[in-house]
Structure 1
Amino acid sequence: MNIGIDPKVDFAFKKLLGSREHPEITLHFLNSVLAGDPVIESVEILNPFNEKDFDDDKLSILDVKATDDRGRLLDIEMQTSLPGELANRLIYYAASQYVGQLREGDRYGSLMPSLGISVLNGVLFPQVPEFCLDFRMRCQNPELTLSDALQVHLLELPKYTPPSDNTVIDDPREQWAYFFRRAATLEREELISRLAAPIFTEATRVLEMISKTPEDREIYESRLKLQRDEQSRLEAAEARGEARGEARGRVRMLEGLLGLDTPANFDSLTLEELASREQSLQRQLRERGIG
């Protein structure tokens, strides 16, 4: 029987990576994504999993905040949708976590690095094939590093293509990408057999416990529905935006044919108002015998 729990759903994601009961899972995930730069020896969850975080009907940001053995600050989150301002938000949160350490009288040298790690169920950078991206403050030419104190790491899941055969996956980054993409649809034995690291036995057990615990399963299903509704809303808004852009183009063309100036409030017109203006302009064209 398939596990049936998607680790990309925020409830499962935070229970998996934001629980003080399973720090080894979080540690393995971090070292896999960071690929040893830096190496993290131990991790402490600063905002541990709490079911009350999921009580309301809001799709709030339920990230995992942690610190490592050297005091570096870590923020881990799952993004199932890619709003247009996502890049700016990722920078903002990493920077806020960095400057938020400084208190009156503190020296800049006391600031610890801030690392933001985001798992994306979408592609933010289609121009490159790599699914794991590492952003830092560096000079392009010549190649110099200003600082590693501010970092944003992305794991773009759709770019990863799971192998079609039954070979064991050894690369840690690929293991996590495979886990996030396939865990919900595979049986426990099949999933564990594909992933070489023993930690995935424990990670799989976390998902199974959600499935078998009625209270957890109910919260999971409600969060899954909420995420699906939000995705549908974003897709509808995107489609409406595209339709509005196309309507603007048609109206501008008709105005050009009639030699009319574009009204000052043109950019604020709704889709319905654009449709009404388009009909009016087409009527004027017919009356003038144009077209």
Structure 2
Amino acid sequence: MRPLLDPKVDFVFKRIFGSEANKDVLLAFLNETFKASRSELLKEITLVNPYIDKNAVHDKQSILDIRAVTEDGKQINIEIQLFNRHDIEKRTLYYWSKLYEEQLGEGHNYRDLKKTITINIINFRYLPGESYHHVFHLREDHSGIVLTDDLEIHFMELPKLEEEPFDMGGGLVKWLLFLKGLDKSKWEEIAVDQPELRKAMTTLEFLSQDREARYLYEMRRKALLDERSMMEGAREEGMAEGKAQVAKNLLQMGMEIASIAKATGLTEAEIRKLAEPDH
């Protein structure tokens, strides 16, 4: 028996939640999400992008999100992120605005625009506090009056599931524990009275044993790890350049090299080199 694939990898996530055969799985997950945020529950959804383009698996920049539309036209977008690409709040608003704007075809009126919901499932800590599920709307600061209900943004932070005691009666936490990679020995416990969650688990087991799915999974995971490595390399390079500039400034102010080394973390040899005329 091969080990299970990681359901947090967006390729696997979309295979579990974003196929026509598993539309009931997606609907159940969404309703648990909306129960937790006291939103209206759904009876039916239509998948907008149900098929996976295999070429996207190899694309480092590709985001294999899930898009759905409700019976009354509400737009829903779900994205899972393994690591922090930064500016996530601006990226989220940008993607939300694109979905909202795309509804307004030629000859349509602004009143035709429907509520648009973005759900970010993230594998890193992002927001302050210990709550793993945050929901944002447009409200007036003092009175709490809702300007419009058309904007709804969810953040679900998987790492926070480790740090808080949870009521296992809650449906959403069971889904998130499954996505987080809960040990298979505990699946039966969280899947009680949750047939759609059990179906998601069965789908993951099937994908984990399928040769083509494993190949595509490994390719997608490699692409994501390459992207992360490049981002971290660029960040470290930027930090190094920043330290060098600070050291140069301190040298110009006449600070001793030993003190600059303590302040910046650079070695004294590196600082002496910066002090040379060609630097």
TM-score range, shorter chain: 0.7 to 0.9
Unaligned runs of 5+ in 2: 256-267
Where 1:21 maps in the other structure, the secondary structure is helix
Q: Which whole-Å deviations, capped at 9, do the CAs of 1:109-165 have from their partners, x for residues lacking one?
A: 11111111111111221x22111111111112121100110121111111111789x
Q: How does 1:206-285 map to 2 (within 5 A)?
A: 206-257=203-254, 278-279=271-272, 282-283=275-276
Q: Which residue of 2 aligns with 1:18?
A: 18
Question: Which segment is superposed worse, 37-46 or 231-240?
Answer: 231-240
Q: Which residue of 1 aligns with 2:6?
A: 6
**In the alignment, does 2:77 pair up with 1:81?**
no
- Percentage identity across aligned positions? 29
What is the rounded CA distance, in whole Å, between the counterparts of 1:8 and 1:59 in structure 2? Answer: 17
The letter for the 2-side match of 1:102 is L
How does the TM-score come out when normalised to structure 2?
0.85
What is the rounded CA distance, in whole Å, between the counterparts of 1:217 and 1:42 in structure 2? Answer: 31
Match of 1:106 among 100, 105, 108: 108
The letter for the 1-side match of 2:275 is Q
Q: Which residue of 1 aligns with 2:140?
A: 139
Query: Conserved in 1, the CA contact under 8 Å of 2:11 and 2:57?
Result: no
Report the CA distance shift for 1:206/1:108 in structure 2 as closer, same or farther (over 3 A). same
The letter for the 1-side match of 2:149 is D
Unaligned runs of 5+ in 1: 259-274, 285-291
How does the TM-score come out when normalised to structure 1?
0.81
Q: Which residue of 2 aligns with 1:192?
A: 188
Query: Conserved in 2, the CA contact under 8 Å of 1:136 and 1:151?
Result: yes
Where 2:43 maps in the other structure, the secondary structure is coil
Instruction: Tell me how many residue pairs correspond in the alignment.
Output: 262
Q: Which residue of 2 aligns with 1:202?
A: 199
Query: Conserved in 2, the CA contact under 8 Å of 1:136 and 1:150?
Result: yes
The letter for the 2-side match of 1:179 is F
The letter for the 2-side match of 1:98 is Y
The letter for the 2-side match of 1:90 is T
What is the rounded CA distance, in whole Å, between the counterparts of 1:168 and 1:203 in structure 2? Answer: 21
The letter for the 1-side match of 2:152 is Q
Deviation at 1:100, TM superposition (A): 1.2
Deviation at 1:32, TM superposition (A): 1.8
What is the rounded CA distance, in whole Å, between the counterparts of 2:71 and 2:60 in structure 1? Answer: 34
What RMSD in Å do the two structures reach over aligned CA positions? 2.6
What is the rounded CA distance, in whole Å, between the counterparts of 2:171 and 2:250 in structure 1? Answer: 54
Report the CA distance shift for 1:2/1:162 in structure 2 as closer, same or farther (over 3 A). farther
Where 2:21 maps in the other structure, the secondary structure is coil
What is the rounded CA distance, in whole Å, between the counterparts of 1:175 and 1:2 in structure 2? Answer: 24
Q: Which residue of 2 aligns with 1:178?
A: 177
Deviation at 1:193, TM superposition (A): 2.2
Query: Conserved in 1, the CA contact under 8 Å of 2:58 and 2:223?
Result: no
The letter for the 1-side match of 2:88 is L
